């Protein structure tokens, strides 16, 4: 799989370099540079075709739209993964805290209900065990 990405990366680098050279030719265009311009335009078309071939090899890869937003904002797309992990860890801690609170509440509730309704709670504990699962 890595060689597919390497192949795409190589074609993209060539394409970007060709576009850079094309920009130089266009910015200082002289009639004598028409042949070079035509050649660069043909390289650009070939480059797009090569990238299209790579795209077909990677059709099963899905990239979250947020990654493209990072790139559009001039941010490193690798930061997207880091920030996703940080958000997941924070959410995990939040959920863990809620679970711990609910477990404590359930224990307290069972204890208090045992004081008010001892017979019913004895039946409940007989059915669900002394320490009901959380």
- Number of Cβ within a 10 Å radius of residue 47: 19
Are 19 and 69 in a shared domain? Answer: no
What are the tens digits of pLDDT across the range 19-59? 999 998 888 888 888 888 899 999 999 999 998 888 878 87
Domain that holds residue 31: 1-61
Are 76 and 131 in a shared domain? Answer: yes
The domain tally of the chain equals 2
Which is more confidently placed, 111 or 2? 111
Are 87 and 109 in a shared domain? Answer: yes
- Number of Cβ within a 10 Å radius of residue 11: 20
Are 84 and 46 in a shared domain? Answer: no
Q: What's the predicted TM-score (pTM) here?
A: 0.50
- Given 42, 61, 80, which residue is the final one in a domain? 61
Are 83 and 52 in a shared domain? Answer: no
- Given 61, 84, 109, which residue is the final one in a domain? 61
For the segment 12-19, the average pLDDT, to the nearest whole number, is: 92
> Of 17, 6, 89, 92, nearest to 54 (Cα)?
6
CA distances to 3, 70, 81, 102, 108 from 126, rounded to whole Å, are 61, 57, 49, 22, 18
Are 35 and 69 in a shared domain? Answer: no
How many Å apart are CA 134 and CA 126, to the nearest integer? 16
Mean pLDDT of the chain: 88
Q: How confident is the model at residue 131 (pLDDT cuts 50, 70, 90)?
A: low
């Amino acid at each position: 799989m890595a060689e597919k990405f390497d192949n795409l990366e190589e074609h993209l680098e060539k394409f970007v370099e060709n576009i850079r050279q094309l920009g130089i030719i266009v910015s200082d265009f002289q009639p004598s540079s028409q042949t070079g311009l035509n050649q660069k335009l043909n390289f650009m078309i070939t480059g797009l075709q090569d990238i299209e071939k790579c795209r077909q090899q990677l059709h099963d890869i899905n990239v979250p739209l947020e990654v493209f937003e990072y790139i559009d904002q001039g941010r490193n797309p690798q930061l997207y993964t880091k920030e996703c992990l940080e958000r997941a860890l924070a959410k995990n801690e939040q959920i863990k805290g809620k679970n711990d609170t609910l477990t404590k509440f359930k224990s307290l509730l069972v204890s208090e209900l045992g004081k008010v309704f001892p017979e019913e709670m004895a039946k409940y504990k007989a059915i669900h065990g002394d320490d009901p699962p959380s």
